[in-house]
Structure formats: structure tokens, C-alpha cells
Amino acid sequence: MPRFRFRRPLSRRILLYTSASLLFLLLVTSLTPIISPLPPYTGQYEVGILDLETAVPRRAVHSAVLKETGEKAFELATLALTLYYPSALPSSPAQPWARPWLPQPVSLVGTGYARLVGVRFAPLQALVTFFLWAFGANTVIPGVVDAPVLMGANATWVGNGNGNGEGLGKLRGVEDEGRGLRTMDEERTLPCVVFTHGMAGMSQSYSHYLGSIASHGYVVAAVEHRDGSGPGSIVHYPDGGERYVWHIKLEDLEAELPMTLSELKAAQLTFREAEIQETIRLLRLLNAGHGHLLQNLKPDSPRESLPGFANRLNMSAVTVAGHSYGATGALQVLKNAPSEPMPVNGAIVLDPGKGSGLLNKDVDVPALVIDSGEWTEKQVEFYGEGWHFDVVRKLVDTTKKGWFMTLTGSAHPSCTDAPLIVPWIMKLATGTTLNAKVALEEYISTSVRFLEYLRDGEKKELLRSDVTSPEGPLGDAEKRVKIKGKHGADWEVHVTPEA
Ligand SMILES: *[C@@H]1O[C@H](CO)[C@@H](O)[C@H](O)[C@H]1NC(C)=O
Ligand SMILES: *[C@@H]1O[C@H](CO)[C@@H](O)[C@H](O)[C@H]1NC(C)=O
């Protein structure tokens, strides 16, 4: 006997399930502390934050066009970045909020992530936006937007002696013309760090790591790459026009000769290198006192603090740093460094890419390579060159100038903000055994010790350690000796510089 069952049409069921899970999500997020606020930065200075977008000489690094719009896929027209820098503002007991952690509009990133996993159906894209909003909307990046940059020891604030007073008269939130503002203990200029994010990442995704480095006295420029590796970004042209840059896959492109995946990655890395070069050019302009000439194309973003950067940057101390795809990019930059356009004195390389092409081995400056525990434990054959670990180890070893180490118990996203904001979810998803905050403190203090080493040649804390685990996951387990970091986590040291 046939039995008939009444079934709702598929679309109705999807609707029902979706709204049920949304309600559930709302309930869970409002009842349990799933979302944690970002902690204060670890250094002694307050942090200024500025989103900046400036016009650069327009050029395409590759001739491929996008099938969807016919636009050139790899055309550089503006440079977008976030500056994190030590500010002259006195420390405040309440943690100031610079701005929402999620880039605005949220739908740009939501749609971007949906497209990234191949979803072109608008309602589903809206759903991803909703999830992002539910988890990220209440998170804010600590800091003060457009705060005055930290001045040298002898700076005077009223009619200041540096000849760059333009910005100072109108400092935001500084009513007493400088009294109470902080200066440095010594007459020094500020070293710079240029940061390049990972695949599917954004410059905002690393705010705690980067803001903390800034709070130790560094000017950090985190590039928002428009190479089609991120979820989404908007180019704002000086004439008021806009262009949306979405994540690019091979099938989105049309070229005279069909591109291969490795050609796509090569084009993206070239694009990234051009953006890094423009970032260094921008820092030079600021340092040369041209800050007041720059137009900030980022909507609603100010620029009052820019003239204050005149003569404040140490352009002989520019370090590149990157994570994952960005770490591959940071190594790539060293191919042409140090040189006039790339005056780079070293690199911080976090989890260098396993699938973003060969790693540049032509390295003449010190590099600090840190693998997460996950990156070291899960080994892959690397483009026919052997195990990834071994390729990286040999690369650093050959330079005789760098370090290679592993932070035990951490995972690939451990240096991002994600494990701080949604610690439980990230712990479940990545299986980390190390506390998220401790992992970041270790990443930060080791990176800052390396930046100090680049300045004065002094090795402190972890950098003084001998090699403890030469073969890492490839050797015998008993030869993998660990050493405690400053915050109590276990490290393995695989390579140290000669002498
Ligand atoms: C800054 O001030 C200190 C002491 O007040 C002085 O010794 C030093 O020469 C000054 N440096 C500059 C660059 O003016
Ligand atoms: C600039 O950086 C270089 C290299 O780290 C350092 O030797 C020099 O003392 C720094 N200059 C100033 C003024 O801070």
C-alpha cells in the first residue's frame, strides 16, 4: 500500500531551517560569552589607528581581465592600508575604541566570503553577512583614530620646533595644546613594519598582533591587498568612482593565453610586491613632511595626524612581516632587498605558504620564521623540493642570519584575532592546546625582540636560545627539546644565526 506523506516544498524547508538556526544562533550568542572583547595591547604606548587610501601611479601588473566585468584584474590604482602607531596620547585607564573590527560595510565582507566558497546566490550571501554580523558586530579594535603620533624626546608642542606644526594645532581630542602628551625617553625615530596578510585574510584580521607591535614603539602599515586574494575590498578613485575587488579564482579570469594556477599566484605576488613598494613610498612621503598633501580616499576616514609624521620615521629600519600567503610575499620582497625602492632590513615570516608557490631563497637580511605547531606537525611535500619543514629550515640555515622556530600547541590562525574573539569556536575548529591569549603574547614578544635585535644587534629572551630541535617533526621525538617562552608556552628552536 502506497503511503503518502505530506512534504513541504524544498524552498519552504530551507527557509524554515534557516530561520530556526538563526534564532538558535541569536539565542546562543546572547546567552553565552562566546564572543570575547579584544584585550589591551601589550606595550607601553597608546595606539593610534588610521585607515588610509591614496592614489598611486596607475598600472596593471598583468593583462588578464575579469570575465564578469571586462575590467583589468590586476590593476593598481590606489593603495589601501591601516596604520597602527604609537601615539602621544597619555595612557587612559579605559580602553578607547578606535572602530568596529568588521570592515564596513559588513555586507562587502559577507558577500566576499560567500563568493570565496563559490556562493553566488544573493540570499545565501546575505546569510553569511548575518553570521559575520552576529559574531563580529560587537567587536571593536582598541585605539584612537587619527591620534597624534608619538614625538621625539625634545619635541615641544606649542609652536613646535620641528617645523611641522600644521597638524599639531588641530589635534583631535587634545584641547590643552599638548600638555599631558607623551614623548619618547630618547631622541629616536620610529622603526616601521609593513605587514602583508594571508589568503582570504584582511588587514583587520591581525589587529591585536599589529596594534601590540605598534604599542612597543613601531609604526605598522598593514596593507589591504587588492590582488584578489581577500574576500572583498573597494577601490575609491580620486574622481569619486569605485571598483569592487572580489576574491579571484582561475575561472574568473580571461587572458590571451589561459592562465595556470601558479601564474595566477605569481601575478598576485607581483601585485602584492607593488603594493608593498608603494607603502614604503608612502612612508617616505610622510617622513619627508608631505603628509598634508595626501588625500585620504577612504570614505569617512580623517587625516589630521599625517603631517605629524614628518621626520618621525626611521626609513633605514623598515621590516616586512607577513602570515601564510603574506609570509611567502614577505620572503619574495627580500629578493630585491635591501635596495633603494625596498630598503628592508629584515622579515618576520609567520607560517610561510605551503601552496602559494616556491619560497624565495635569495635572502640577504635576517629573517625570523615562526611556524605554528599545526604548520610544523602537518607536513606536506613542497613542490618536489622535499618536506615543507626541511625546505624552510634549509632556507633559513643558508642565510646564516635568521631564526626558525615553532610555537608548540598553536594553529595556523593563532596569530590572527579570531581565537581572541571566538576562543571556544577556534579551539574546537583548530584543536589548539595553547591558550589563545598566551599564543599571541608569545608571537608578539618574540617579534618585538627580533625588531629590537635588528636595531641594536642584541639577542634577548628566546633569541638567545641555542637550537633545541634541529630536525623538528622529521627527527626522533626525543630530540625535540622544548624551551619556555616569556609567557610560559613551549617553543622548539630549529635554526639560529651563526655567531
Ligand atoms: C635633546 O635634549 C637633551 C637633554 O635635554 C640633549 O642632551 C640632546 O642633545 C637633545 N637632542 C636634540 C636632538 O636636540
Ligand atoms: C634608525 O635605524 C637604524 C637601524 O636600525 C639605527 O642604527 C639608527 O640608530 C636609527 N636612527 C634613529 C635616529 O633612531
CB-based burial of residue 221 (10 Å sphere; 0-12 exposed, 13-18 middle, 19+ buried)?
buried
- What ligand has the least distance to the C-alpha of 311? 2
Cα of 343 to ligand 2 centre, how many Å? 13
Other CB atoms within 10 Å distance of the CB of residue 143 = 26
Name the percent of the chain in helix, strand, coil, to the closest 5. 35, 20, 45
CA distances to 190, 237, 342 from 366, rounded to whole Å, are 19, 37, 15
316 lines ligand 1 (CB under 6 A): no
Band the pLDDT of 155: cuts 50, 70, 90.
low
> In the annotation, is 351 catalytic?
yes
User: Ligand 2: which residue has its CA nearest to atom 5?
Assistant: 455
Cα of 152 to ligand 1 centre, how many Å? 10
> In the annotation, is 92 catalytic?
no
161 lines ligand 1 (CB under 6 A): no
pLDDT reported for residue 200? 86
Round to whole Å and give the CA distance between 234 and 224: 10
User: DSSP state, 462?
Assistant: G
Average pLDDT over the chain, rounded to an integer = 88
**C-alpha cell at position 330:** 614577505
Counting ligand 2 atoms within 8 A of each CB, the residue from 184, 187, 314, 319 with the most, and so the one to mutate, is: 314
pLDDT in tens, 434-486: 999 999 999 999 999 999 999 999 999 999 999 999 999 999 999 999 999 99
CA distances to 24, 324, 428, 485 from 102, rounded to whole Å, are 22, 21, 22, 32
Q: Which amino acid is at 293?
A: L
No. of helices (H) and no. of strands (E), the chain: 11, 17
Beta-bridge partner residues of 385: none
User: Ligand 1: which residue has its CA nearest to atom 10?
Assistant: 154
User: Ligand 1: which residue has its CA nearest to atom 14?
Assistant: 154
Band the pLDDT of 174: cuts 50, 70, 90.
very low
Contact indicator for 396, 495 with CB cutoff of 8 Å = yes
CA 143 to centroid of chain Cα atoms: 16
Atom of ligand 2 nearest to the CA of 454: 5
Cα of 280 to ligand 2 centre, how many Å? 17
Q: Which helix (DSSP H) or strand (DSSP E) does residue 211 occupy? A: helix 207-215
pLDDT reported for residue 136? 82
Is the peptide bond between 105 and the residue preceding it cis, with omega within 30 degrees of 0?
yes
Cα of 154 to ligand 1 centre, how many Å? 6
Can you give the pTM of this predicted structure?
A: 0.89
Contact indicator for 179, 305 with CB cutoff of 8 Å = no
Atom of ligand 1 nearest to the CA of 153: 1
Round to whole Å and give the CA distance between 197 and 206: 8
* Dihedral (CA of 457, 462, 468, 471) sign: negative
Query: 212, 215, 233, 324: which one is catalytic?
Result: 324
Residue 162 has pLDDT above 80, yes or no: no
